[in-house]
Amino acid sequence: MDERRRWSMDFRRAIAELLSARTGLPADTLEASVEVPPQFELGDYAFPCFPLAKTLRKAPPAIAAELASKLAEGAPFLDRVQAVGGYLNFFLDRGVFVGTVVADALAAGPRIGATEEGAGKTVIVEFSSPNIAKPFHIGHAFTTILGQSVAKLYTHLGYPVVRMNHLGDYGTQFGKLIVAYGRWGDEAALLEAPIRELLRIYVKFHDEAKADLALETEARARFLALEEGNAPEMALWKRFRDLSLLEFARVYDRMGIAFDNYNGESYYSDRIPAVVDLLRAKGLLEESEGAQVVKLDEEGLPPCIVLKSDGATIYASRDIASALYRKETYGFYKNIYVVGTPQALHFRQVFAVLKKAGFAWADDCVHVGFGLVKFADRKLSTRAGEVIFLDELLAESVAKTREIIDRNAELRGTDMSEEERAEVAEKVGIGAVQYMFLRNGRDRDIVFSWEEMLDFDGETGPYAMYTYARGRSVLRKGALEGASAADATPEDLARMGGDDEAAVARLLYGFGDAVHRAVEANEPFLLTRQVAGIARAFNKFYNNESILSAPDAGLRRARIALTEAVCTALKTGLDLLGIAAVERM
RNA sequence: GGGCUCAUAGCUCAGCGGAUAGAGCAACGGCCUUCUAAGCCGUGGGUCGGGGGUUCGAUUCCCUCUGGGCUCACCA
């Protein structure tokens, strides 16, 4: 617990220790029940006395009143303690609180909320994992954006992170592509737009195969040849793979994503015989309906197929092989799979097989699922052509952003160059999309609508980015007059006693906690909400109070420091979500 | 049928067993000669799906019912 807010003072702990000294109860238990009241008017922290009623044989309000009088002159960081009903409400000294938080936030800088608790504990995050030769559509956006944020969050807490892109680069589909390319492939088109061309011939293959059954047979033969390492098939497969990766790289670059490892399914295929031997040696493998399976009745799960009845491998066997590989290679502390919830059962089976095979670390494997991206009335369907490519979505978002930038530039008479406008539009447009995927709990389905996706009002990516840019603008102006956040003395900072300043400080203070909760639940949206809260509180403060024209020099220095702290928190928060911030917009 | 998951404002969603259930969008009404109006302020809007139970206290935990979604052997 001490680790949690190491970047700043732990007021909750301090209150728990105060209570502990007066009641004789252990501070740890008390700390767990110290809560934050629903309204600020009720105080910064509260301690419900109801649970004490039984042991003390007194009414909760009486206990609260008694404790309040005892704690009245407790500590310098407290302004007052009030009994309200059965609650004991603690009001922190505004000056001490705001001053401490701002000073600590400035000292932490980009490492606000960061710790080293993960040092030496390698975390693997598998995410994105698109299929080679298939378009990168918005369904892949979810795992890509979510996974990136999860990886960054762990990194912030000191965990060494390995980002793995488990490419879908294996299977009979490649036999089909090889056949199709031989018959209808267009070299020039392939170079021009690889995935479009590969998709075209893939669709063509399926059309033709309806009339010509020999095509399927040939495809299987070609895939077999590929598996056996036949040179022509291998060369073609590698080419398709390389070209696809090149195209994916464009999207990854735009979103600032890089992987440590692109080992796809194909990489693990030759490790499967060893897996089969292992499972057989442990007596787990049995034949069922011609296939080799591991029964999981005791676990309450359906059997896991390891080898198909024709002896071929299947995704479960490849995932088992890859898990073993990861443990051997990285000795992971945690192995995270950012894959859609429809595959929840599959992962439960894979983990159960590993556990059954005697690998205790199976418990360190986690499936981080997420909902479907769909239209209001129907599912996304590649076959029906009812998909939205991520490229297309990003382009729309960037274009809309550019319009707003141009309009504002004219309105405000700013001097943004063509180059800067393009760069800002790119970052804001992409950030808007990324934010949409990290706004709510990941289990929820996302109903796609252009209208909502391109709405930049209210709690959105652009809102957070705008707030940052606004703060930076103030700081730039201050700097021109020679002012900087470092000028503020502790006495200056302690003078920020206003409601709006305190509200901002409270949200800043919760930053580290939000990062922790996000990591514990593998839920970046918990940080998204904190970032949004900080932005909202700062905008309110910004509208109500003047920063550069504060009533006096000391308060001005303090407010500049507060603004700097907010900017740092916003930039760091956005970065942990995988979103870039801009200095102007 | 089994498993998992969800049901909260017109819409999209938050709500760690606790105080008067909150945001954003949409609607309506205000605020730019002053630090970026992608902003701020205000108003209206709720049987927290239904019914039981546990508890001093349940939107939150348990059971049950209803209604969605996903999934249940050789695709991934």
Please determine, for residue A225, whether its predicted confidence score (pLDDT) is greater than 90.
no
Is pLDDT above 80 for A103? yes
Question: Which residue is closest to B25 in terms of CA–C1' distance?
Answer: A458
Q: Is residue A413 located within the same domain as residue A511?
A: yes
Nucleotide nearest to A41 (CA to C1'): B19
Going by pLDDT thresholds of 50, 70 and 90, the confidence category of residue A66 is confident
ipTM for the whole complex: 0.95
Q: Which of chain A's residues 154-213 bind strand B, using a 7 Å CB cutoff? A: 168, 170-171
- In this prediction, residue A382 carries a pLDDT of 55
A29 CB below 7 A from strand B atoms: no
Q: A3 lies in a domain?
A: no
- Report yes or no on A296 lying in a domain: no
Q: Clarify whether residues A545 and A443 are in a common domain.
A: yes
* CB A449 under 7 Å to nucleic chain B: no
Same domain (yes/no): A442, A570: yes
Determine, yes or no, domain membership for A113.
no
Query: Is strand B within 7 Å of residue A477 (CB)?
Result: yes
Q: Are residues A428 and A541 in the same domain?
A: yes
**Same domain, yes or no, for A410 and A508?**
yes
Judge if the beta carbon of A264 is closer than 7 A to nucleic acid strand B. Answer: no
Q: How confident is the model at residue A1 (pLDDT cuts 50, 70, 90)?
A: very low
Is the separation of the CB atoms in A583 and A260 below 8 Å? no
A154 close to A123: Cβ distance less than 8 angstroms: yes
DSSP A382: T
Nearest nucleotide from residue A445 CA, by C1' atom:
B69
With CA atoms as reference, report the closest residue to A91 among A165, A15, A153, A23: A15
C-beta within 7 A of nucleic chain B, residues 32-51 of A: 35-39, 42-43, 46, 48, 50-51
In angstroms, the CA A409 to CA A502 distance is 33
Asked whether residue A160 carries a pLDDT value surpassing 80, the answer given is: yes
Q: Is the pLDDT assigned to residue A306 strictly greater than 60?
A: yes
Q: What is the predicted pLDDT for the residue at A435? A: 96
CA of A458 to C1' of B73 (A): 48
A230 located within any domain: yes
Q: Which residue has the tokens 């369907």?
A: A381
Residue A516 confidence class, pLDDT cut points 50, 70, 90: very high
**Residue A81 and residue A179 in one domain:** no
Residues 110-129 of A near strand B (Cβ < 7 Å)? Answer: none
Q: Is residue A414 domain-shared with residue A559, that is, in the same domain?
A: yes
Pick from A72, A92, A112: which residue ends a domain? A92
Quote the number of domains for chain A.
Answer: 3
Residue A470 belongs to a domain:
yes
pLDDT number for residue A480: 93
Which residue's structure tokens are 């700081």?
A475
Q: Tell me: do A446 and A534 sit in the same domain.
A: yes
CA of A517: nucleotide with nearest C1': B16
Residue A298: exposure state from Cβ atoms within 10 A (0-12, 13-18, ≥19): exposed
Rounded average pLDDT over A125-146: 92
pLDDT tens-digit readout, A320-364: 999 999 999 999 999 999 999 999 999 999 999 999 999 999 999
CATH (domain of A451): 1.10.730.10
Q: Does A192 lie in the same domain as A84?
A: no
pLDDT at A383: 52
For residue A45, what are the domain limits? 11-92
Q: Which of A254, A279, A299 is the last residue of a domain?
A: A254
Q: What is the mean pLDDT of residues A404-428?
A: 93
Residues A449 and A568 in one domain: yes
**Stretch A133-152: mean pLDDT, rounded?**
93
Q: Where does the pLDDT of residue A74 fall: very low under 50, low under 70, confident under 90, or very high at 90 and above?
A: low
Q: Is the pLDDT of residue A263 over 50?
A: yes
Question: Using 50, 70 and 90 to split pLDDT, how confident is the model at A469?
Answer: very high
> Does pLDDT of A73 surpass 80?
no
pLDDT at A477 over 90: yes
Residue A312 CB burial class (10 angstroms; 0-12, 13-18, ≥19): middle
Active-site residue list of A? 134, 137, 140
When pLDDT is averaged across residues A280-287 and rounded to a whole number, the result is: 94
pLDDT value at residue A368 = 96
One domain, residues A420 and A508: yes
A237 close to A186: Cβ distance less than 8 angstroms: no
Residues A204 and A196 sit within 8 Å (Cβ to Cβ): no
Spatial distance from the CA of A78 to the C1' of B62 (Å) = 41
Instruction: Write down the pLDDT at residue A250.
Output: 93
The answer to the question of residue A212 being in a domain is yes
Percent pLDDT > 90 in chain A is 68
**Model confidence at A376, in pLDDT bands (50, 70, 90)?**
low
Query: Is the per-residue pLDDT at A270 higher than 90?
Result: no
Q: Would the Cβ of A440 be found within 7 angstroms of any atom in strand B?
A: yes
A5 within some domain: no
Domain membership of residue A446 (yes or no) is yes
Whose CA is closest to A425, among A258, A584, A252?
A: A584
Residue A414 pLDDT grade (very low, low, confident, very high; cuts 50, 70, 90): confident
A3, pLDDT greater than 50: no
Banded model confidence at residue A381, pLDDT cuts 50, 70, 90: low
Both A83 and A197 in one domain: the answer is no
Residue A341 CA, nucleotide B5 C1', distance (Å): 9
A161 vs A213, higher pLDDT = A161
Of the residues A220, A254, A288, the one at which a domain ends: A254
Domain harbouring A46, CATH code: 3.30.1360.70
For residue A305, which nucleotide's C1' is closest to its Cα?
B73
Instruction: Considering all nucleic acid strands, name the nucleotide whose C1' atom is nearest to the C-alpha of residue A47.
Output: B18
Average pLDDT over residues A109-114: 95
